[in-house]
Amino acid sequence: MRRNAGEAEFLQAVREVLESLGRVVAKRPDYLDKALISRICEPERQIIFRVPWMDDDNQVQINRGFRVQFNSAMGPYKGGLRFHPSVNVGIIKFLGFEQTFKNALTGLPIGGGKGGSDFDPKGRSNAEVMRFCQSFMTELYRHLGEYTDVPAGDIGVGAREIGYLFGQYKRLTNRYEAGVLTGKGLFYGGSLARKEATGYGNTYFTRAMLQTGGDDFDGKDVIVSGAGNVAIYTVEKVQEFGGRVIACSDSSGYVVDNDGLDLSLLKEIKEVRRGRMAEYARLKGDQSGAYFVKSGAGVIWDVPCQVAMPSATQNELTGKDARKLIKNGVVAVGEGANMPCTPEAIRMFQQAGVKFGPGKAANAGGVATSALEMQQNASRDRWTFEKTETRLAEIMSDIHDSCYETAEEYGVPGDYVAGANIAGFVRVAEAMLAFGVI
Ligand code: NDP
């Protein structure tokens, strides 16, 4: 652990998985042989590089780029790129570690990786974002390939950024290698339903948890934090399932709309204008009752709800927030973001009997659909939205059942955290044992 000093998020993610493994090694002591667990916790490769680029004022800017190729036991490294000023090696390592088990849970042949940069696309022109992406790919391309490492989007990396990255990869390699990036635009090899997949997937997973108690979204008040890719399509699917989403947020604050969020207005603000959350209440009008609470003046989890779906960023829901949510009657929490709930919050939810779906299972729909995009690229095919969503729903149902059944098998019924950690770990561990010491 000493070699990971200062990497708080990475240590948090590793600790959570290791805490689940006592029951596994009691049954399978051979997992302790040949330093298997230590090897799983160590990335296969970490690449850190300089990203120089020119801003619109002809000033040279320098950012730092990262790609952590964590584990390729199950297939080529697969995981998103995050562009956000908070990015550092510890954050990328935690995301790559989580991704390894998440990808194993999908049952698809994909290993785990993650990357990104401390570049902040907010407030940058399209031309600046393009120049940054081109410079970023000018180093990264040599480490990628459809059989080697296949990045996708994450915070700050959407269709625009993937387009610039793909264009530069194609130019540098002189290869139209569609399967080297996922989350591509629909005109050049992207998959229908990929954009929707993480939010839809978390909604399917959370509904499956509710259904184990004979319950559903129907008529429930739901809060979805964030207002990005994952959040928007969570709102869409929850509404389709009859839930009433009453609040969402961005880093400037949160909006509450007790009539249920107006999804087309939310999409207009976030996907078309790239605007801020305060605009929602203003555009909805004073008569509507919708209101905005500035960041610092309160947190979104103050708002009473029955289902909470944190979909912004890591450690955004603390023990204090969990206490409030439990007091207000929350019955289920599905993590759309990666590690959005602190360990204390998770403990409190589980002790209170709240159904808790950890991100590495609940938000696996995005990467699963990325693997479906790779399948379509490899077979030069293009599936309909319905076919892709049907496959996504099956995969989410399988992930849910696998976590649920693994938790039962290991004597912790209803503990989806242990179920996900154990089921994901066992798949990776078995492959690594087969390969010998590598
Ligand atoms: P986006 O960039 O599309 O949206 C992120 C949203 O979260 C924005 O509304 C952003 O607000 C908010 N946010 C980000 N950082 C912070 C912060 N530090 N404090 C408060 N709000 C913040 O990203 P995604 O929707 O793609 O990703 C959201 C989460 O889901 C991440 O944890 C990501 O790792 C995870 N995830 C994403 C997948 C995908 O397919 N996209 C797949 C699986 C997991 P603002 O714009 O103001 O910064």
Over residues 127-142, the mean pLDDT reads: 98
The bridge status of strand 77-83 relative to strand 112-117 is parallel
Let me know whether 220 and 110 are in one domain.
Answer: no
Residue 209 belongs to some domain of the structure:
yes
Inter-axis angle of helices 416-435 and 89-105, nearest 10: 90
Ligand 1 pocket check: which of 100, 155, 315, 316 to mutate, most ligand atoms within 8 Å of Cβ? 155
pLDDT for 166 beyond 70: yes
CA triplet 67, 54, 169: central angle to 5 degrees? 45
What's the whole-model pTM score? 0.97
Supply the pLDDT for residue 286. 74
Q: Indicate the DSSP class of residue 73.
A: S
Give residue 254 CA to ligand 1 midpoint distance, Å.
Answer: 14
Q: Are residues 209 and 349 in the same domain?
A: yes
Residue of 202, 224, 233, 251 with the most ligand 1 atoms within 8 Å of its CB, for mutation: 251
| Residues 336 and 201 both lie in one domain | yes
Best mutation site among 313, 335, 360, 370 for ligand 1 pocket (most ligand atoms within 8 Å of CB): 313
Please check whether residue 397 lies inside any domain of the structure: no
Strand 244-250 to strand 253-256: parallel, antiparallel, or no bridges (unpaired)?
antiparallel
Task: State pLDDT tens for residues 13-26.
Answer: 999 999 999 999 99
Which ligand 1 atom sits nearest the alpha carbon of residue 277?
47
In-domain check, residue 9: no
pLDDT at site 263? 98
Q: pLDDT tens digit string along 355-391?
A: 999 999 999 999 999 999 999 999 999 999 999 999 9
End-to-end Cα distance, the chain:
20
Q: How far apart are CA 338 and CA 98, in angstroms?
A: 8
For residue 324, the enclosing domain spans 197-357
Asked whether residue 202 falls in the same domain as residue 319, the answer is: yes
> What is the phi/psi pair of residue 369, to 5°?
-75, -25
Calculate the average pLDDT of the chain.
97
Same-domain pairing of 201 and 314: yes
CA-nearest residue for atom 48, ligand 1, is 251
Q: The tokens of 72 are what?
A: 């390729």
Which is the closest atom of ligand 1 to the Cα of 153?
Answer: 41
pLDDT at residue 408 greater than cutoff 80 = yes
Residue 107 belongs to a domain with what CATH number? 3.40.50.10860
On whether residue 370 sits in a domain, the answer given is no
Residues 160 and 267 in one domain: no
263 domain-assigned: yes
The count of domains in the chain is 2
Looking at residue 86, its pLDDT comes to 98
pLDDT value for 3? 87
Residues touching ligand 1 (Cβ under 6 Å) are: 153-156, 158, 198, 226-231, 250-252, 311-313, 336-338, 363, 366
CB 269 within 8 A of CB 232: no
Do 159 and 205 lie in one domain? The reply is no
Looking at residue 223, which CATH number applies to its domain?
Answer: 3.40.50.720
Closest C-alpha to ligand 1, atom 29? 337
Same domain, 206 and 347: yes
- pLDDT 10s digits, 218-272: 999 999 999 999 999 999 999 999 999 999 999 999 999 999 999 999 999 999 9
User: Which residue, chain included where needed, has tokens 């599936």?
Assistant: 383
For residue 126, which of 80, 163, 166, 170 has the smallest C-alpha distance? 163
Same-domain pairing of 133 and 58: yes
pLDDT at 285: 83
pLDDT band at 96 (very low <50, low <70, confident <90, very high): very high
- Assess if residue 369 is contained within a domain: no
Q: What are phi and psi of 383, to 5 degrees?
A: -90, 160
pLDDT tens digits for 277-306? 999 999 998 788 899 999 999 999 999 999
Which residues have CB under 8 Å from 387's CB, separation 6+? none
Sign of the dihedral through C-alpha 432, 435, 436, 437 = negative
The domain boundary, picked from 340, 357, 374, lies at 357
Q: Are 331 and 210 in contact (CB under 8 A)?
A: yes
Residue 161 sits in the same domain as residue 262: no
ipTM exceeds 0.90, yes or no: yes
| Same domain for 210 and 286 | yes
Please give the distance, rounded to the nearest whole angstrom, from the Cα atom of residue 157 to the centre of ligand 1: 9
d(CA 180, CA 255): 38
Quote the CA–CA distance of 364 and 38 in Å, as a whole number. 24
Give the end of a domain, one of 339, 357, 375.
357
Same domain, 246 and 339: yes
Report pLDDT for 1.
65
Residue 393, pLDDT > 80, answer: yes
Nearest to 354 by CA among 306, 387, 421: 306
Domain end position, chosen among 357, 372, 398: 357
90, part of any domain: yes
Q: What is the mean pLDDT of residues 128-146?
A: 98
**Does residue 51 carry a pLDDT above 70?**
yes
Is residue 376 one of the residues assigned to a domain? no
